[in-house]
Structure 1
Amino acid sequence: MMSRLLLGRCLSALATALIPTTLTLAVLRAGGDGGALGIVLASELVPLLVLLPVGGVVADRVRPERLALAADLTRCLSQAAIAAELLLGVHRLLDLALLSAVAGAAIAFGSPAVPRLVIAVVPAPDRLRMNARIGVATSLSTVAAPALAGTVTVAAGPGWAAGLTAVLFACSAVTLGGVRTSGEGAGARRAFLADLAGGWREVRTRPWFLAAVLGHGVWHFVAGLFLTLGPVMVVRHLGGGEAGWTLIVQGGTVGMVLGVFAAPRLPIRRPLAVVQAGAAAYLLPMVALAAGAPVPVLAGAYFVAMFGLGLLSPLWETVVAEEVPEGALGRVRSFDQLISFASRPFGLAVAAPLAGLTGVAALAVTGAVLVAAANLVAIAWQPAASDRRPEPVPPT
């Protein structure tokens, strides 16, 4: 079952990573501009953010493999519909936006189910290693997918790239849907709003979790700033050109993969402190950007920051699964994902206007201070493991 889980998550990660490049090239071939592309890409994000809390409640009520099956099948159908339209020569941006919205809604329900699926299948001593393997697969997918989608699009057209994505989602759905867990959802059946409120109480009774999640939200926001300002500065002002920015991004990917590999192999005594320190390391590329550092220095700083992210991801997944009751895990993780999913697009959106007001250097320094302060202060909220588990929240 563990190998089936890993294979399903790898297929789903690759399919997910194919979508942005495929949609971008499809919109551009349809004659759309940056505004049209933004609308299509945002169409997935809006229903995702709105429905995540609902998905968290459902994830605690339904067997996780069934929810993963339904989510990936829905995304398969949405990509198949996009493929059919593009192959038939139909390039309606409204259709692309609506089908992207359907996929976003599916992610909102499927994503909170994944942590429950992991803890249902993987024994506790093996979860960190499994989360690390899933993290490696996800990291490698983000590197390989744009090249794969671009190659298929150039060779055969974006319709075939969307078709490939649909096939991968179908395979993921069959694989994850074949995982067997015992029983229905782990949470007691109550009114929907009571379950939603109960999930928020689980968050509030864990100050360490809330402090960490807010710190991670600041990390995502600052990452949005860097990924907007960084390429402009490297290409136009630091003399690195497109090759320089590519070097920085590839170095970050290598750093993240190495961090994920290292996480289960290092003798880490305080995993939550390492998680927050890993997020705080993002101050390094922001400081380098503010100083106008040469490309090799900026690449080294980004490598270290992404190594910290590589450590963060599997450690965080494992600790939260250990510390949050299974019956509330879907709802608790949905709040976590909501903050993360919302923060980075906000950073991407406001980076250019803020830089126009303050200048790139001042904005980068501010981002560095924010990401370091929010995450290092959160370490003070990380008590010993024996103190992290609050008393059970009484049902209402």
Structure 2
Amino acid sequence: MTPTIWRLLAGRTFAAFAGALIPTTLTLAVVRSGSAADLGVVLASELLPMLLLMPVAGVVADRFPARRVVLAADLVRAGAQVATGALLLSGPVRIPGLAALAAVTGAGVAFGNPSARTLVAAVVPAAGRLRANSRLGVATGTAQMAGPAAAGAMTLALGAGWSSLLTGTLFVASALTLGGLRTAPAPLARTRAGFTAELRAGWSETRRHPWFLANVLAHGVWHFAAGLLLTLGPLIAVESLGGAASWVIIAQVGTAGMLVGVWAAGRLPVRRPLYAVAAGASAQALPLAAFALRLPAGVTAGAFFAAMLGVGVLSPLWETEMQRRIPPETLGRVGSFDTLISFAARPLGLAVAAPLAGVTGTAAPLLAAAFLTAAANLSVLLLPDVRREPEREASVALR
């Protein structure tokens, strides 16, 4: 790997690890002296700015150099986390202050996410993007897996304030690492439309790619189903699969599957990436059905491994296909709609899972989600521009 790729990999890993520390730190800090309602307020305060600012952040990602936006977003998150640490170390937990700082963190996430995607396209040549995205997936996936355990250990041993200070330090490391990346020279300046016009143009560009819009909506179904699974799966594991330990084992098996998938994605001879993306996303139906039918723990763990293997394969392929098919000058805006749907759908699934199960039981919503996930993601293969390969067709036409 080149020094630039190493630097990109290190910076994204720092940011992923820092982001994975936050939910566990806040949860342990609030539940010790607050209530479930207080925790909901704090977590919602981080989520809402993400959702509201994501389209705006897409315009910013296309207007300004990606490394500068990522630098600013990481420094904002670093400042919010250092302030959170100071607040937690200064005395009793104060929910309004934590909620306000969580909102600042959410804004930083909103602006950092689209620009991190465009940064890969700006730094990595097209031929090396799949391998780079695969390596990024392994590194960030490992960091996200280790983050909750590290946050829990540090919070229990030293206190939540020190965990937040560590998080802020990691965001500073990410800012210094990614902010100094050398990118390709910017194109010649052009006359820009107003902000609102560029926002509308981003949506128009999104609608110009039916393959993208169909996949994003199908992925939204999958993320909604994942929210159901993450709520109802542990309950079913405790009731029918051998207790809480069985859920921990199943979750870890799934994490291993994801890491294997992202490692393999850059090495598999995939000729039609969007076919593999559809297959990987539709595989999420397997654990949904396994939990709904209360199959043995070993079978359910195997289903979860297969599903997360699919996630691992599809993630780098999807990122690379977006970077290949969408013009770089609109990638931030178009990609922000992808992130927006994902961020919104999973919390919705988490929120409605318990009420649905209270009315229908656990099996019905999980089986319905399994069917809809498979149907939505496989149906995108019916679209002509999913089946065609623009670059390959263009090269054939030139012969």
TM-score if structure 2 supplies the norm length?
A: 0.95
Which residue in the other structure is 2:180 paired with?
A: 178
Within the candidate set 13, 18, 23, 1:15 is matched to: 18
Cα distance in 2 for partners of 1:42, 1:376 equals 32
Which residue in the other structure is 1:330 paired with?
A: 332
Cα distance in 1 for partners of 2:283, 2:247 equals 20
Cα distance in 1 for partners of 2:342, 2:191 equals 27
Change (3 A) 1:66 1:306: same
Within the candidate set 107, 126, 130, 1:105 is matched to: 107
Cα distance in 2 for partners of 1:384, 1:9 equals 32
1:207 aligns with 2:210: yes
Deviation at 1:276, TM superposition (A): 1.0
Change (3 A) 1:185 1:60: farther
Which residue in the other structure is 1:393 paired with?
A: none
Deviation at 1:142, TM superposition (A): 2.0
Change (3 A) 1:389 1:163: farther
Contact 1:256 1:308 in 2 (8 A): yes
Contact 2:10 2:177 in 1 (8 A): yes
Which residue in the other structure is 2:219 paired with?
A: 216
Cα distance in 1 for partners of 2:144, 2:156 equals 19
Which residue in the other structure is 1:156 paired with?
A: 158
Deviation at 1:193, TM superposition (A): 1.2
Amino acid at match of 1:61: R
Deviates more, 1:377-386 or 1:316-325: 377-386
Cα distance in 1 for partners of 2:168, 2:187 equals 28
Amino acid at match of 2:210: P
Contact 1:61 1:185 in 2 (8 A): no
Aligned residue for 2:387, secondary structure, equals: coil
Deviation at 1:88, TM superposition (A): 1.5
Contact 2:67 2:180 in 1 (8 A): yes
Cα distance in 1 for partners of 2:188, 2:98 equals 34
Within the candidate set 234, 245, 261, 1:231 is matched to: 234
1:348 aligns with 2:340: no
- What pairs up with 1:1-396 in 2 under 5 angstroms? 1-29=4-32, 31-181=33-183, 182-183=185-186, 189-235=192-238, 237-381=239-383, 382-386=386-390
Amino acid at match of 1:8: G
Deviation at 1:315, TM superposition (A): 0.2
Deviation at 1:186, TM superposition (A): 8.1
Q: What CA RMSD, in Å, does the superposition of the two structures yield over aligned residues?
A: 1.6
Cα distance in 1 for partners of 2:330, 2:175 equals 24
Amino acid at match of 1:212: N
Give the unaligned 5+ runs of structure 2. 395-399
Cα distance in 2 for partners of 1:187, 1:311 equals 38
Deviation at 1:100, TM superposition (A): 0.4
Cα distance in 2 for partners of 1:45, 1:278 equals 27
Change (3 A) 1:205 1:387: farther
Contact 1:323 1:389 in 2 (8 A): no
Aligned residue for 1:284, secondary structure, equals: helix
Query: Percent same amino acid at aligned positions?
Result: 56
Change (3 A) 1:269 1:184: closer
Deviation at 1:245, TM superposition (A): 0.2
Give the unaligned 5+ runs of structure 1. 391-396
Cα distance in 1 for partners of 2:232, 2:288 equals 10
Contact 2:241 2:294 in 1 (8 A): no
Change (3 A) 1:259 1:301: same
Cα distance in 1 for partners of 2:104, 2:341 equals 21
